[in-house]
Amino acid sequence: MNNKLKIGLFGFGVVGQGLYDIIKGQDLNLEFTKIAIKDPSKPRTLPDNLFTTDHNELLDNPSINTIVELIDDADVAYHIVKKALSTGKNVVSANKKMIAHHLEELVELQQKYGTSLLYEGAVCGSIPIIRNLEEYYDNELLHALSGIFNGSSNYILSKLYNEGLGYNEALKRAQELGFAETDPSLDVGGYDAKFKLAIGTAHAYGLFLNPDKIFNIGIQNISKQDIKFAKEKGFKIKLVPTAKKVSQRQIITFVMPKFVKPDDFLFNVENEYNGVTVQAAFADQQFFFGKGAGGHPTGAAVLSDIAALRYNYKYEYKKHHQNANILQTNNISLEVYLRYQHEYTIEKLKVDLISEKYFSNDYKYIIGTIKLSELIKNKSILENKDIFLVSTGKISYQATASKSNTDLDII
């Protein structure tokens, strides 16, 4: 049954305006009842009586049955979504940080109050990856989920590689185009991708992870020497979040730069575009591609969720109910490229099995193996501007101390 939705919208910025642009002129059996904004002095394209700065005008309005939350502040968004779900209102949100940190609680609230929270727009913009993980792969055995989840970082890396720009110039362009914030640390530091990976992992494997437990390192220390090395090897450097099953009950999760080969789907994903690769036992390898940022692409994903609510759609979290015993592990080693300045860095990180080493007055690197647990323990070292780390895509997992390593390639 196609139910009439009366919407209370929080936020009328880039995505909120993009959503309105898509909806206007269409007969979708929905209406915006009220829009909550932060700054009433800004000029708006809609009548003034639609707007308010009082959140309760939306949350306490019994005629509003659907809340669409599109604000930047994760803490405020959490309180909005929590109250809405608890008072019988369905919710659509695009706030990946808020969802990643509170997903397990929000799932429990949906079950308790019979409400629905949808958030396709929170992960990879216009790419319908959450709905596909939830529906198409609901009975599939997934080996791995990875990809390019952050358009800002991918735009910067594309400009470094394809146009020879320096990092600061590429970042400036990204900010001018609205792909990167004034403070770009969430994007270039791998945090945004980590939040999205945590949400994706919940639907791919049924495991609710605190994103603080996922290792992430970004691209902010990249140099032209690193780009030159990648070009000489025929690789590109991409920021790749990865969730991978390494045993019957264990998965690994991390976000870090990776050397991508020409035969990898991600090799040709450029600028602000995102790409998601799913490795399944029976469907094999599949690839999703689309714009990961911008008002209209994200607005389209939000509208898809709104439309689904007209038919009482809910995420069922089937993998969570089926795979209650799935655990996260850090018991792996990764082969990496490490650019460094001081020799003691290699010792502190406990780099092993060094297969390649180069040093000159202004450039030193090694190819070797590092345990993920050591990277986690020494993350502060990796944030030094003289250090840059890239995964080669090869990992090894040791099930027990008595068993030999199992070599795995990251898709």
90 DSSP β-pair partners: 66
Give the span between the Cα atoms of 121 and 232, in whole angstroms.
Answer: 37
The gap between the terminal CA atoms of the chain, to the nearest Å, is 41
Give the span between the Cα atoms of 63 and 81, in whole angstroms.
Answer: 17
Burial class (CB in 10 A: 0-12, 13-18, 19+), 378: middle
Q: Is 348 a catalytic residue?
A: no
Of 298, 307, 290, nearest in space to 21 by CA: 298
Helix (H) or strand (E) holding 130: helix 129-131
> CA gyration radius for the chain?
22
Of 321, 322, 138, 328, nearest in space to 249 by CA: 328
Cβ neighbours of 280 (radius 10 Å): 17
161, amino acid identity:
Y
Task: Out of 96, 196, 236, 244, pick the active-site residue.
Answer: 196
30, amino acid identity:
L
Give the span between the Cα atoms of 177 and 39, in whole angstroms.
Answer: 23
Angle subtended by helix axes 74-86 and 96-113, to nearest 10: 10
**Is there a contact between 299 and 15 (Cβ–Cβ < 8 Å)?**
yes
Give the span between the Cα atoms of 300 and 290, in whole angstroms.
Answer: 12
List Cα–Cα distances, 303 to 92, 296, 298, 357, 374, in angstroms.
9, 10, 9, 51, 43
Active-site residues: which are they?
Answer: 196
